[in-house]
Structure 1
Amino acid sequence: MPSYKVDSYLNLLGKTPEHTDLLTLARQLLKDQSTFHKLIPAQMAQYCRLSRITNGKLTIVAENGAIAAKLKQLSPTLLRKLQQYGWKVTSFQILVQAQNSTEEKKYINKQIDIKKPKLSEHGKACFNQLAATLPDCELKKAIDSLVKKQEMTKNI
């Protein structure tokens, strides 16, 4: 089902009294998730998500132990940043919950807008110039591959 049909259905559903609170809560969670992903390193964003805030305790669900450990390291800084955004958070609870399906992970990755660094035209020209001076080697192949990938993402 196209997303605009789902959105119109949810908007219509949100006008019914039984579902108004639920959809308001879901929209707020989506907004909070977006803010949270802006505050953590981009590499980690796809591996963790918010769960709930209860009595000032923010629950974060991490996909694996390494992400949970990194979140614990970042928690003092993250706590300050969230409080600057006006969140009433005083502590974190970090849970580890592995992804159950690859389909769910694909859906989550589509929802997260991770900005991948792109080479400027000047950067590509410099890499091409460097590759032209190198003999056939792994470095030259890697540079060529990098430039080709940048060209492909430019056209998307």
Structure 2
Amino acid sequence: MLPLKVDSYLDLLGKTPEYASLLSSARRLNEAQLTFSKLIPAQLKQYCRLGLILDGKLTILVENGAVASKLKQISPSLLIKLQQRGWKVTAFQILVQAHNSPKNSRPFEKQGHSKRKSKLSQTGKECLTQLAATMSDSELKKTIQFFVRKHQDTSIDYNDSET
């Protein structure tokens, strides 16, 4: 029911002179995006958005370099398909816009990362202490000793296989 109300509202808004041009452009861009999505491989659809067409150059905004690379590979055949559909396109400009993707805008923790500090196991501490004991005085030895001391108070016993 909600999409119907929004569509009705947009149709009504589109009849006002102030918004008619804007909504007409938005509809054309949406139709162009749908057409473009049908022409590119399915695995790329969610990572590509159309930009402007200026002087025959179509700007395509992509999420990452891999998608940009794939689009560059298929660009000759894609260009022919678009021209066959009446698009006045002679070239592409592919821009990587990684941070504009809704997928990449998730908080850091939701992407499987955690702010939790790693803790060094008892076996790991013992191994590092033994290593430091065999070393001559150096920055590396001091760093290892500092690292072990730092983890003394926050220790948790893990399996002996973990370090």
**TM-score, normalised by the number of residues in structure 2:** 0.61
Residues 63-93 of structure 1: CA deviation (Å, up to 9, x unaligned): 1110001001111110011000000000000
Residues 104/19 of structure 1: CA separation in 2 closer, same or farther (3 Å cut): farther
Unpaired runs of at least 5, structure 1: 106-156
Count the aligned residue pairs: 105
2:90 matched residue in structure 1: 90
Give the Cα–Cα distance (whole angstroms) in 1 for the partners of residues 44 and 82 of structure 2.
Answer: 17
Structure 1 runs, 4 residues or longer, greater than 3 Å off: 99-105
Partner AA of 2:35 in structure 1? T
Query: How far 1:2 moved relative to its partner?
Result: 1.6
Q: Which has the larger radius of gyration?
A: 2
Residues 35-60 of structure 1: CA deviation (Å, up to 9, x unaligned): 10110001100110101111100000
Give the Cα–Cα distance (whole angstroms) in 2 for the partners of residues 8 and 103 of structure 1.
Answer: 32
Query: Secondary structure in 2 aligned to 1:46?
Result: helix
2:161 matched residue in structure 1: none
The 5 Å alignment of 1:32-111 reads: 32-98=32-98, 99-102=100-103
Unpaired runs of at least 5, structure 2: 107-163
Over the aligned positions, Cα root-mean-square deviation in angstroms equals 2.0
Percent identity over the alignment is 65
**TM-score, normalised by the number of residues in structure 1:** 0.63
